[in-house]
Every structure is written in structure tokens, then in C-alpha cells.
Amino acid sequence: MPSNSTRRTLLQCVGTGLAVSALSTTATAQSSGEWTAATSPVDGRLNDVVQTSTGPYAVGDDGIVLERTSEGWRTVIRDGPGSDGNNLLGAGVTDDGDRLWYVGASGAIGEFDVRTGSQVADRSAPNDVTNNFNDVAVAGGAGDANVYVAGDSGQIYYSFENGTDETWNGVTPGSGSAINAIDFHGPRSGHAIDANQTVFETIDGGTYAPIGIENSDVNFYGLDSDGTDDVRVVGAGGTVYRRDGTEWTPESIAEVALYDAEVTSSNGIAVGDGGGTFDLASGSWSRATTPNSQNIAAVATGSPSVAVGASGTILERTSSDGTDDGTDDGTDDGTDDSTDDGTDDGTNDGTDSGTDGGTDDGTDDGTDDPLSANVARFDEDDDGDIDFGEAVDAITAYNQDRTVAGDPVDFDDVVDVIGAYND
């Protein structure tokens, strides 16, 4: 199930005070390094995982909520938001990463403050609805979020006032088939999938239009919505469907069912049956090696990337430097440090050929490559460079779904801008 805009959470955190240079190493999807099995405090199924401002959280059967700490994974809630032990099926996080939301069986909905380590409210059974809730998407900051819940009865329940009492509405976007997953890329813009092989889109958070997928002939299980024209759907048969513009493009990457994916334009991770984890790097999918064969239900990229599933399975993957696990997302400027011999002692004569590993001590002659046309639209002062303020403006435009120079700003645009700033 989708983890609701982990990348947007990272960008929001940067916009509110984190260093932009840190974002450049943590915002991209991951595909290198080895998956390892973490010690799990539970043996029941874990159904979803998200990245928060304090680290990864997972939710699962019997109302379990787990937190990853410096000492490993621990249980923070044992029996759900209402202490009734209902299975938790989906999780989401606010844009600032500070509030975790979880939903599940019999109308379970909870809001949890990861900063204080305590549940804020039990928001279960909105409007007395006690259907099973399969997934949740959250857009906005802690305490001021729009909340969207995918119902097993075919309805999407939503609140524009942080899920407080008497603020919920419901809409049935399709035929009444179960809504299996929901993900939002803006405050009121996102997508949902149902059990009738249909993808729905909304731009106002309350009305939905079907946008495919014709002739798919498989059940849909997972969804990653990064923009109006940047959507991926996964399901039975091992196929990833990508929407780029108005067309859906299928790509078969496995012979097992896929349950979740978190993807940028050319990099990401998909997970599924039999321990299946699949990496997208520079546009190509490949299967990764995992330490067990348990079915994997969900994945969240970050530091570390985490995948969870059956029998309490928790898999983690981090690079040797602890920042991210190493996916090259295509935005590198040619300064890959594999070509640097580490002997730069300050005698650079200004003729840097672009193969230096980023150890230039400042004696370069300043003849950097010009900005690409896409990045140049963020260069507000037309000085041929991206400064800190311009990088933050790009992040803000992305978070608020604003256009720049008449064009929308997507995640990859922001990564490119940050790459230019870090040069």
C-alpha cells in the first residue's frame, strides 16, 4: 500500500529548516545495497510502512504500531486506536512528517504524534461508519491536514478539517467495488484504485473521474501518485502501469503479484509475493536479493528504506554512509566520486574536466556547465546559478502545486534544482 508522499514529506521538512544538501542524498528512491532482515517485535502480518520526521513506522494486524528507534524496532501501540485490536491496514503521514495516521478494520482511524510518541486522537467510525478501511492519504501539516480514507465498501471518506467529528464526507467514485489504495500528491489532488480495475483521479478532493486502465485484466493493489501525469499502479501479474500524460504504459517486471511501489520518474522500488523486491534504476527494473521469501506488503524509501510483510517481516536497506542506499536517479552532474583519485591538494589549475569527485577546493575557474532549460526556469535572478532561496522556492512550489514559468513542478524538477544548488 502506498506510503503517501514520503518524498513530499522530505521536501516539506527541508522547506521548514533542514539543509537542502541533506535532501539531495535522501530524497531519491533507492535500489543499491543489500536488504537485511531486522529483528521484529511481532510475528503477525505488517500491512504498511511510512517514513516520518523521526524515522519509519509500520502498522499491522491486531492494531500493532511499530517505531524504528536507534536501538531497533519497538511497539508503540499494541491494540489499535480504540484498544479493540482491529487490524490496521494502511498508514499515512502529514507533509511535515510529524503526525502518523493509521486506518483498519471496523472503521479504525487513529492520529499519532511521532514527536511526543503518543496518540493524539481515536477518530474511528466517522459518521458511524464501521466498514473496513484499506488505506489512508494525508495532505497538509500536523493538526491541519486533509485526510482521505479508502473504504472496503467502495466509498472514499474525507475530511478537510483534520478528521475532527462532524467534518467527514463520503463519495463513491465507481461501481461500489472496494477502494484498495489511495495516494495524494497535493492538498486535494490525488488518485485512488478499486477492485474493479479502475483508477480514479481528483483535483478537488471530493469528486473523482475514472482515468483507466483499459484492458488491464488484473487486480490493482498498490498506487504511487506523484502528480497529475505521474502515476503508477501495481497489481496481480507482476505488471507496473505508468501514466505519463494521458497514456498508460504497462511493464511486466515479475511473475508474482505486486502490492506496493514507490517510484520517481526513473527510479524506485516495488514489492510483492515471495519476498519479491524490485528496483527501478535509470529506467530499468531488476529483482533484488532478500533474506527471506515472505510476502512483502509495503515499502517506504528513505534512510533506511524499509519493506514489511507477512509474519512480522521487516527488511531494511541503507548505504554504507548511512544516508540513502544509493540509487542514482539520473540527476548526477558528472561528479561521480568513483573517478576521483583523492589526490586533489588544492593545485587545481581551473581545467576541471567534470570527472572530479566533488573534492574541488574552490580554485576552479567558475566555468560550470550552463543550467538546463528546465532548471533555468527556477533561476529567478538570471545569474546562471541556483542559490539557496531559489532551491527553497522550488520546494515550496512543489508542495503547494504551483506552476513555475507556466509549467507544473514535479519531484524530479526539485531534485534537479537541488542538484544544481549543490554543485
Tell me the C-alpha to C-alpha distance, in Å, between residue 234 and each of 51, 276, 314, 332, 369. 21, 13, 21, 28, 39
Residues 254 and 347 in one domain: no
Residues 249 and 384 in one domain: no
pLDDT in tens, 76-88: 999 999 999 999 9
pLDDT at 3: 44
Residues 142 and 185 in one domain: yes
Residues 287 and 406 in one domain: no
For 345, the domain range is: 337-422
Q: What is the mean pLDDT of residues 121-129?
A: 97
Domain assignment of residue 329, yes or no: no
Residue 137's nearest CA partner among 67, 230, 63, 225 is 225
Domain assignment of residue 324, yes or no: no
Q: What is the CATH number of the domain that holds 80?
A: 2.130.10.10
Distance CA 166, CA 392 (A): 37
Q: What is the mean pLDDT of residues 234-263?
A: 93
Residue 215's pLDDT band, with cuts at 50, 70 and 90, is confident
Tell me the C-alpha to C-alpha distance, in Å, between residue 98 and each of 73, 93, 333, 394, 400. 18, 7, 33, 22, 18
Query: Lowest mean pLDDT: which of 48-57, 147-156, 330-339?
Result: 330-339
Residues 276 and 237 in one domain: yes
Q: Which three cell numbers stand for residue 276?
A: 519479491
CB atoms within 10 A of CB 314: 23
Residue 248's pLDDT band, with cuts at 50, 70 and 90, is very high
Domain assignment of residue 366, yes or no: yes
Domain assignment of residue 41, yes or no: yes
237: pLDDT strictly greater than 70: yes
Residues 75 and 195 in one domain: yes
Residue 135 exposure: Cα atoms within 13 Å on the Cβ side: 31
Structural domain ending residue among the three candidates 317, 349, 381: 317
Domain assignment of residue 293, yes or no: yes
Q: What is the mean pLDDT of residues 63-76?
A: 97
**Long-range contact pairs involving 304-307 (C-beta distance under 8 Å, separation at least 24):** 304/56, 305/30, 305/269, 306/49, 306/51, 306/56, 306/58, 306/68, 307/35, 307/49, 307/269, 307/271, 307/277
Q: What is the mean pLDDT of residues 165-174?
A: 96
Q: How many domains, in total, are found in the chain?
A: 2
Structural domain ending residue among the three candidates 317, 348, 373: 317
342: pLDDT strictly greater than 80: no
Residues 347 and 312 in one domain: no
Angle at 240 between CA 266 and CA 47, to 5 degrees: 100
The pTM (predicted TM-score) of the whole model is 0.72
Residues 66 and 187 in one domain: yes
Domain assignment of residue 224, yes or no: yes
Residue 142's pLDDT band, with cuts at 50, 70 and 90, is very high
pLDDT at 366: 44
pLDDT at 63: 98
Task: Answer with the residue of higher pLDDT: 322 or 260.
Answer: 260
Query: Do residues 268 and 305 touch, judged by C-beta distance below 8 A?
Result: no
291: pLDDT strictly greater than 80: yes
Domain assignment of residue 325, yes or no: no
Residues 258 and 381 in one domain: no
Residue 402's pLDDT band, with cuts at 50, 70 and 90, is low
Contacts for 332 with CB less than 8 Å, ≥ 6 apart: 419
CB atoms within 10 A of CB 62: 16
Residues 353 and 240 in one domain: no
Structural domain ending residue among the three candidates 289, 317, 345: 317
Residues 294 and 372 in one domain: no
357: pLDDT strictly greater than 80: no
